[in-house]
DNA sequence: CGCTTACCGGTAAGCGCTTACCGGATTATA
DNA sequence: TATAATCCGGTAAGCGCTTACCGGTAAGCG
């Protein structure tokens, strides 16, 4: 705890009451619209508030109400060195955060945004400190172990993103299963590609595991030749995707006809790496992503991917947290529908005008 | 104020004291490293804290200490409809915010991030509410009038970004003057362009005004034919830049040899619009930006621009605020140096290998 | 016109924490 | 061993706000 103390001659509700010639109770009531103050009382108070430009202290209100009207959002920042277009790595989380914030404002809540280093180990104390300053927490992917979450959860309500609900916490995620299913089917059935690989995200990410699982199942079901595992291990970053391709190529491995990437970011890196080696997408190797970040449509060729409703993801996460804070129980597990976006990187319509739009092939339920 | 009340059987310092068999004062002392508790006392307390996984309530601490250890950052979100590449419009502010956050963490502070609608009018109440929850505020460009700032400033310390210091608030900005000077000189002297225009940012932005002023002065000094004003009024967005070019072209206006854009975002729109009309950059028209956002180097051609140390801008803003919070006075006005980044869009070295790097021509002082 | 009912607004308690102040125990000094 | 100096740790006050509770005044009723 830093040394700074007592800001200065802080203005309190007593000053307002004094000036308005009423009691502090009246001031509080007017300010919060409780009770039914007489018109002239209200008027006197309002004037005094205006003249002093009084703003009630949040900490005192919070203490008295048992409600801070602040929630915390924790995520991991940075990581891999920058890579062309990597700048948008922020994007996926940023869009979600924006969704959280906008929804929070509707309820008069504010958001404490806090990032932790990419591979900081002992984040629990930090997060606990944040928990102490908030009414609830939204944790992005891979922030904490289940035990960690459990410990936190008896301090404040918790919503995780892209994880799985625990006894004590809630979760919001997208329907990876049906998204991946539609995507793989599009590749192995519509395009009839016989060899296909899954370039994974971080191995410990639940989203990644879910996607990998469905990938395998669908590829196997279509009797396609598929590759997963060690050589195809990425980390959700463009650099990660590019490295995998580079290693594979350096080792003289023959690439499959289609590469399904764990997310758009990875796909971006893959396309870049492929381009460097002069391998044509989608003519020689088809590439797909997952997320549909805004840049996806501007890649060359435009990226076929699965759209997640990112902003809504954030909004829903806040809603769940809010209802828990308001004591209502609420669903502990929300799964949002996704949508297959067919563009050109899968081998569809090379003509930009035709199918390049937002052909929706799959739309999953909750 | 929403209805939710009393979260639940909150754990307090009394519970910890009870369990440890000491007084609440001791618990507090151990937790804050004050006084010199005996080893066994410390031990008992720590154990109790661990067993109960107790986390002190931030509001109560804040109230007692007169220090919340939270600062607020307010900025405007969104605005113009999306445009190719516009996704990064977040970027400039996001990088600054990241800088703020990282620096804040070093001091044990957290950051309340709050955006207001692009053209919300009456933002003062919202900001005041945030002020009540924080120890200080950092306001991005064009958030509040001088009067508004003055009112807020006697509630909490204020640092503005890219504005100008007032009697009550501090400010951090980049050295627009020397950046623009170097840029214009590069164009009118090194390249000897005789006609040149300034495509402005929002007219009410101090940064924009500063850049415009130097632009005029330098262009005039070099006796170049320059254009500014009404037809060249942009708004910092890519769409804004593109619109200006489109209107000009539609009106049959002859474009100048070089267009200096108020920021990279605008330059991006301009290059796009030029491309659509088949006008070659930089062969027919040279284009420059300002900021050096990460994508700038990946445009075609790579953008010549002026680099602002965005992350540092944020860090400095926090530092200033922090020293004010800690009662120390501190400099009310900080100007960070910028650096001219010569790439290709100005007409330099079409060969990517040669000058495409980070040739620093100007480096300004504070 | 006296008594009940309603309605406002004031007094005071309490939210969970920090810390000034003070008393008891411990150790140093004679 | 008695006394002074030292050190810990407990008690209680207070941070700025909300609100339960209650007393006083004004309006409603017979």
Give the nearest chain B residue to A4 (CA atoms): B326
Q: Are residues A146 and A32 in the same domain?
A: no
User: In this structure, how many other beta carbons lie within 10 angstroms of the beta carbon of residue A361?
Assistant: 13
Write out pLDDT tens, residues A222-235. 999 999 988 999 98
User: How far is Cα B270 from Cα B245, in angstroms, rounded to an integer?
Assistant: 6
Domains contained in chain A, number: 3
Q: Are residues B220 and B353 in the same domain?
A: yes
Residue A34 has what pLDDT? Answer: 81
What residues of chain B, 105 to 164, have a C-beta less than 8 Å from chain A?
A: 105, 107-108, 110-115, 128-135, 151, 154-156
Residue A137 belongs to a domain = yes
Q: Are residues A96 and A209 in the same domain?
A: no
Q: How far is the CA of A53 from the C1' of D25 (A)?
A: 32
What residues of chain A, 12 to 41, have a C-beta less than 8 Å from chain B?
A: 32
User: Chain B closest CA to A12's CA: distance in Å?
Assistant: 11
Residue A7 has pLDDT above 60, yes or no: no
Q: Are residues B230 and B348 in the same domain?
A: yes
What residues of chain B, 258 to 317, have a C-beta less than 8 Å from chain A?
A: 293-295, 298
Give the nearest chain A residue to B102 (CA atoms): A115
A94 and chain B: CB distance < 8 Å anywhere? yes
Looking at chain A, the whole-number percentage of residues with pLDDT higher than 70 is: 89
User: Chain B closest CA to A79's CA: distance in Å?
Assistant: 14
Q: Are residues A349 and A300 in the same domain?
A: yes
**Confidence class of residue A77 from pLDDT cuts 50, 70 and 90?**
confident
Chain A residues near residue B129 by CB distance under 8 angstroms: 55, 110
Residue A173 has pLDDT above 60, yes or no: yes
- Name the closest nucleotide to B54, judged by C1' and CA: C16
Residue A36 belongs to a domain = yes
Q: Verify whether the Cβ–Cβ distance B60 to A63 is below 8 Å.
A: yes
Q: What is the mean pLDDT of residues A183-207?
A: 94
Residue A4 belongs to a domain = no
Q: Verify whether the Cβ–Cβ distance A67 to B91 is below 8 Å.
A: no
Residue B78 has what pLDDT? Answer: 65
In this complex, the residue of B3, B110, B327 whose CB is nearest that of residue A326 is B3
Q: Are residues B291 and B259 in the same domain?
A: yes
CATH label of the domain that carries residue B91: 3.40.50.2300
Residue A298 has what pLDDT? Answer: 75
Write out pLDDT tens, residues A264-273. 989 999 999 9
Task: Judge whether residue A32 contacts strand D, using its CB and a 7 Å cut-off.
Answer: yes
Residue B9 has what pLDDT? Answer: 64
Least confident span in A26-40, A342-356, B222-236, B329-343:
A342-356
Residue B170 belongs to a domain = yes
Q: What is the mean pLDDT of residues A26-54?
A: 90
Write out pLDDT tens, residues B217-252. 999 999 999 999 889 999 888 889 999 999 999 999
**Confidence class of residue A118 from pLDDT cuts 50, 70 and 90?**
confident
Q: Are residues A170 and A272 in the same domain?
A: no
Q: Verify whether the Cβ–Cβ distance A111 to B114 is below 8 Å.
A: yes
Residue B356 has what pLDDT? Answer: 34
Residue B53 belongs to a domain = no
Residue A259 has pLDDT above 90, yes or no: yes
Q: How far is the CA of A66 from the C1' of D24 (A)?
A: 32
Domain extent for B188 = 176-308+340-363
Give the nearest chain A residue to B298 (CA atoms): A84
Q: Verify whether the Cβ–Cβ distance A108 to B2 is below 8 Å.
A: yes
A353 and chain B: CB distance < 8 Å anywhere? no
- Name the closest nucleotide to A32, judged by C1' and CA: D18
Residue A62 belongs to a domain = no
Write out pLDDT tens, residues B145-184. 888 999 999 899 999 998 888 888 999 999 999 999 999 9
A326 and chain B: CB distance < 8 Å anywhere? yes
Find the farthest-apart pair of alpha carbons in chain B and give their distance in angstroms, rounded: 86
Q: Are residues A77 and A199 in the same domain?
A: no
Chain B residues near residue A88 by CB distance under 8 angstroms: 87-88
Q: How far is the CA of A28 from the C1' of D17 (A)?
A: 8
Q: What is the mean pLDDT of residues B109-134?
A: 92
Lookup: tokens for B194: 């005789």
Q: Are residues B8 and B92 in the same domain?
A: no
CATH label of the domain that carries residue A42: 1.10.260.40
Residue A78 has what pLDDT? Answer: 65
Bases on strand C under 7 Å from any protein CB: 7-12, 14-20
Residue B8 has what pLDDT? Answer: 52
Give the nearest chain B residue to A117 (CA atoms): B102
First to last CA, chain B: 46
Q: Are residues B327 and B299 in the same domain?
A: no
Residue A4 has what pLDDT? Answer: 42
Protein-nucleic contacts, chain B 24-63 to strand D, CB < 7 Å: 24-26, 35-38, 40-41, 60, 63
Residue B82 belongs to a domain = yes
User: How far is Cα A171 from Cα A190, in angstroms, rounded to an integer?
Assistant: 34
Counted across chains A and B, CB pairs separated by less than 8 A come out at: 174
Q: Verify whether the Cβ–Cβ distance B108 to A58 is below 8 Å.
A: no
Give chain A as a 3 state SS string. Answer: CCCCCCCCCCCCHHHHHHHHCCCHHHHHHHHHCCCCCCHHHHHHHHHHHHHHCCCCCHHHHHHHHCCCCEEEEEEECCCCCCCCCHHHHHHHHHHHHHHHHHHHHHCCCEEEEEEECCCCCCCHHHHHHHHHHCCCEEECCCCCCHHHHHHHHCCCCEEEECCCCCCCCEEEEECHHHHHHHHHHHHHHHCCCCEEEEECCCCCCHHHHHHHHHHHHHHHHCCCEEECCHHHCCCCCHHHHHHHHHHHHHCCCCCCCEEEECCHHHHHHHHHHHHHCCCCCCCCCEEECCECCHHHHHCCCCCEEEECCHHHHHHHHHHHHHHHHCCCCCCCEEEECCEEEECCCCCCCCCCCCCCCCEEEEECCC
User: Chain B closest CA to A154's CA: distance in Å?
Assistant: 8
Residue B126 belongs to a domain = yes
Chain B residues near residue A77 by CB distance under 8 angstroms: 98, 102
Q: Are residues B227 and B354 in the same domain?
A: yes
Bases on strand D under 7 Å from any protein CB: 7-12, 14-20
Q: Are residues A254 and A151 in the same domain?
A: no
Residue A296 has what pLDDT? Answer: 85
Write out pLDDT tens, residues B1-53. 344 444 456 899 999 999 999 999 999 999 998 878 888 899 999 999 999 99
């Amino acid at each position: 705890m830093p040394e700074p103390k007592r800001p200065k001659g802080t203005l309190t509700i007593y000053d307002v009451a004094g000036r308005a010639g009423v009691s502090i109770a009246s001031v509080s009531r007017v300010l919060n619209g409780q009770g039914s103050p007489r018109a002239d009382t209200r008027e006197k108070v309002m004037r005094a508030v205006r003249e002093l430009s009084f703003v009630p202290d949040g900490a005192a209100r919070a203490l008295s109400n048992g409600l801070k009207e602040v929630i915390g959002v924790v995520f991991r920042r940075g990581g891999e060195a920058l890579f062309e277009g990597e700048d948008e790595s922020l994007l996926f989380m940023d869009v979600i955060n924006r969704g959280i914030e906008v929804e929070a404002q509707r309820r008069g809540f504010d958001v404490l945004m806090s990032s932790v280093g990419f591979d900081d180990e002992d984040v629990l104390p930090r997060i606990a400190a944040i928990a102490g300053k908030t009414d609830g927490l939204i944790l992005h992917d891979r922030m904490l172990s289940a035990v960690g979450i459990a410990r936190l959860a008896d301090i404040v309500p918790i919503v995780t993103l892209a994880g799985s609900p625990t006894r004590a916490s809630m979760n919001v995620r997208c329907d990876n299963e049906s998204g991946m299913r539609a995507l793989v089917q599009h590749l192995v059935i519509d395009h009839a590609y016989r060899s296909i690989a899954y370039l994974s995200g971080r191995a410990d990410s639940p989203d990644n595991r879910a996607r990998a699982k469905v990938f395998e199942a669908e590829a196997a079901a279509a009797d396609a030749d598929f590759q997963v595992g060690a050589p195809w291990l990425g980390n959700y970053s463009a650099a990660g995707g590019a490295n995998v391709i580079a290693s594979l190529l350096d080792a003289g491995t023959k690439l499959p006809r289609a590469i399904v990437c764990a997310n758009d970011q990875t796909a971006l890196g893959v396309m870049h790496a492929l381009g460097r080696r002069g391998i044509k997408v989608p003519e020689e190797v088809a590439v797909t992503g997952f997320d549909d970040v805004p840049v996806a449509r501007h890649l060359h060729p435009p990226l076929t991917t699965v759209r997640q409703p990112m902003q809504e993801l954030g909004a829903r996460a806040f809603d769940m947290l809010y209802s828990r804070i308001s004591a209502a129980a609420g669903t502990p597990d929300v799964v949002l529908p996704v949508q297959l976006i067919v563009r050109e990187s899968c081998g569809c319509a090379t003509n930009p005008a035709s199918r390049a739009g937002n052909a929706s092939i799959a739309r999953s339920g909750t």
